[in-house]
Amino acid sequence: MIEMFEEWYKSRHEYAKEWKDKTGGKVMGFFCTYVPEEILLAANVLPVRILGSHEPQNVTEPHIFGMYCPFCRDCLAQGLLGRYDYLDGMMIAQSCLHIRQAFTSWKKHMPPEFTYYLPMPHQVQSPRSIPFLRSELETFKGAVEQWVGKEITDADLDRGIELMNASRQAMRDLYDTRKSANSPMTGLEAMYAAASNQWIDKAEHTAAVREALAKELVGRDLGLGDKTRLMILGSEDDDTAFVNMVEGCGSVIVTDDHCTGSRYFWNQVEPEEDRLLAIAKRYINRPACPTKDWPQRTRLEHVRMLAQEWNVAGAIIIQQKFCDPHELDIPEQRKSLGEIGVPTLFLELDVTVPVGQFKIRVEAFLEMLAEEDLF
């Protein structure tokens, strides 16, 4: 099953089109992991996260000023190039300005039948944010009901919550296997599993993860026990070529703090009578995106915990060029990890990665980490 995640990663569009043909259901493209997928699943809609393709493109220049991050331009390019032409709906939950611009340009020039902007609160540390988000979720639920022409009942919401929670738990279990001194899976395999989870039918993906855990990963030895253990963190990252290069230099990536990785599935919805309130609490209390991590810096403690529990020797901070929210965290993040003895390497990514240049820097970083062991 491990290979299936890579296949799903590479054939996301074919998968979604086949899913539509098979089920007759609607597909919703979404731009940020603050989107409450529970409600979409309750309406039997397939949520599909829109990501870039990591290929150079020349179609977004008239729409997005060049100082905006390569990720948002790469995402918009996918729309302009017609690669998501099967979407029935498209939505965003309010996060950073950059991805918002990709959403609004897409909506303006290629609107699907349903679009939605969910004003996900930024002040998640205020107790006022939960009732506000609950109210917004109710409005959103009503809009989805109107779109699909069907009422979303409590039983539907329970099913959506259960599907998401089961998926989250399976991914947590999968990541836990990487705590082992000899991780049974590579960082690249984990990236394929985590990213594909954002567009594959949840029940199907969870079943695959469970099967991998039960049958493939038990006792699996890839000879990773003597590799240098690293974590990756920072802006959105599903750059498999980059991860492959890093692991090819004698390291293994054992955990991450990315919205394409652990931040997406970290915490569960705690069921309660008021389902929308329960969902709201989950999104308010999830590991924060930097856009919402204020006035206290909760990310520092969370990332330290990841580094310690997964026993990493070093961290690579991956920065999408021009990503201001992460740039505003990086000096403190580096300081915080340094205080617990985890050195960091800072790399700035564009749509394509200069693998040769980065390889030299990664090798130097790993050499430095090895020296620390030596002396």
Partner 1 sequence: MANYPTETLLSWSKAKEIRETYYKNYAAAHDKGGIRWVGGAWTFDAVPAGLGGNVYSLTSEPYGASCAFNKDFSTRAMEAAETAGYARDLCAYMRNYWGSILMDEYAFGGPFPKPDFIWQDHICCSHAKWYQVVSELEGGIPMFCVDVAVGPAEPFGTLTDSKIDYVTGQILDGIEWLEKTTGRTYDDELFIEACWNDFRSTSRWAQVCELNKAVPAPLDEKTMYSLYVLATLQKSWGVVADYYDELYDEVKDRVERGIAAVPNEQARVMSDTQPPWSALKLFRYLEQYGVVSVGSLYTFGLEGMWDFDPATGDLVPRPMPEKKPTTREEAARELVRWHLHKPEYQHFYDCDYKSQMMVAICKNWGLSGVMLHYNRGCEGLSLGIAENRLAIQEAGYPVMTFEGNMGDEREFDLGRTMQRVDAFMETLGVKKVAA
CB of 26 to partner 1, least distance (A): 23
* Position 137 contacts partner 1 (CB under 8 A): no
Q: Which of residues 171-190 bind partner 1 (CB under 8 A)?
A: none
CA distance 277 to 99: 26
Using CB under 8 A as the binding criterion, the count of chain residues that bind partner 1 stands at 46
* Position 265 contacts partner 1 (CB under 8 A): no
* Position 150 contacts partner 1 (CB under 8 A): no
Give whichever of 103 and 242 is closer to partner 1, judged by the CB atom. 103
* Position 263 contacts partner 1 (CB under 8 A): no
CA distance 292 to 283: 11
Q: Can you tell me which of 53, 135, 146, 357 binds partner 1, judged by CB under 8 A?
A: 135
CA distance 247 to 232: 12
Nearest Cα residue to 174 out of 198, 204, 206: 206
* Position 122 contacts partner 1 (CB under 8 A): yes
Nearest Cα residue to 168 out of 118, 206, 120: 206
Nearest Cα residue to 161 out of 30, 260, 40, 25: 40
Give whichever of 120 and 170 is closer to partner 1, judged by the CB atom. 120
Q: Can you tell me which of 11, 18, 23, 97 binds partner 1, judged by CB under 8 A?
A: 97
Give the pairing type, strands 89-93 and 27-30: parallel
CA distance 260 to 81: 23
* Position 126 contacts partner 1 (CB under 8 A): yes
Nearest Cα residue to 12 out of 56, 44, 51: 51
Give whichever of 60 and 255 is closer to partner 1, judged by the CB atom. 60
* Position 327 contacts partner 1 (CB under 8 A): yes
CA distance 157 to 366: 47
CB of 322 to partner 1, least distance (A): 5
* Position 336 contacts partner 1 (CB under 8 A): no
Give whichever of 123 and 153 is closer to partner 1, judged by the CB atom. 123
- What the block records as the tokens of 15 is 């998968």
- What the block records as the tokens of 137 is 């979720």
- Close Cβ partners of 22 (under 8 Å, ≥ 6 residues apart): none
Q: Can you tell me which of 29, 47, 314, 325 binds partner 1, judged by CB under 8 A?
A: 325
CA distance 257 to 330: 13
* Position 119 contacts partner 1 (CB under 8 A): yes
CB of 94 to partner 1, least distance (A): 6
- What the block records as the tokens of 375 is 């002396």
The span of 114-122, 198-206, 229-237, 256-264 binding partner 1 (CB under 8 A) equals 114-122
* Position 33 contacts partner 1 (CB under 8 A): no
Q: Is 219 left (phi over 0), alpha (psi -120 to 50) or beta?
A: left
Give whichever of 1 and 130 is closer to partner 1, judged by the CB atom. 130
Amino acid at 202: K
- Residues lying near partner 1 in the complex (CB under 8 A) are found at 61-65, 67-68, 94, 96-98, 100-101, 104-105, 107-108, 117, 119, 121-123, 126, 128-129, 131-132, 135-136, 139, 290-291, 294-295, 297, 321-322, 324-325, 327-332, 334
